[in-house]
Amino acid sequence: MRFLKLAVLLIFGAFLTSCNENVVYNAHEDIKDGLWYIKNKPTFKVEIKDTVQAYNLYYVLRNALQYPYYNLYMNRQFIGPDNKMITNTLEEVFLSNETTGKPFGNGLGDLFDHKIPFLKNYHFPRSGVYTFTLTQSMRQNPLPFILSVGISVEKVQPKKN
């Protein structure tokens, strides 16, 4: 039954992202057995051609309802085409309400997908391949019930009057 729920969720997610022409990049890495070890550092390479265009960048995360915390601390390394570090940032993202425990994101059964912005209206300084590396920075190692992590890069559309 769990496999069926996961398959439906994956197909639905693929359908949603395939319909959006503003998506420049969208990828995730499944976390083996839902146990995210500190040494597991999913890396994503994004090719940017248009530096005039503004972009919104998002974390895409999937967790099980059994995830024991309301938040997740992640470290994001952002490296430019010249292999120089742009940022190395520790961020806290919220997966559920701290008081009620009600999960944020879109859920299907006990699985929840999150799309959390981390850069809005961002202009990449030059064209080329940018590298994003994500690591978990929680005190628990491995961190249970995190099923996948990734990023999405989307073009910002001008507002219509």
Q: Domains plus CATH for the chain?
A: 2-155 (2.60.120)
Read off the pLDDT band of 66 (50, 70, 90).
very high
The pLDDT of 104-115, averaged and rounded, is: 95
**What's the whole-model pTM score?**
0.85
38 contact partners, CB below 8 Å, separation of at least 6: 135, 136, 137, 141, 142
Provide mean pLDDT across the span 105-124: 96
Is the confidence at residue 15, as pLDDT, over 50?
A: no
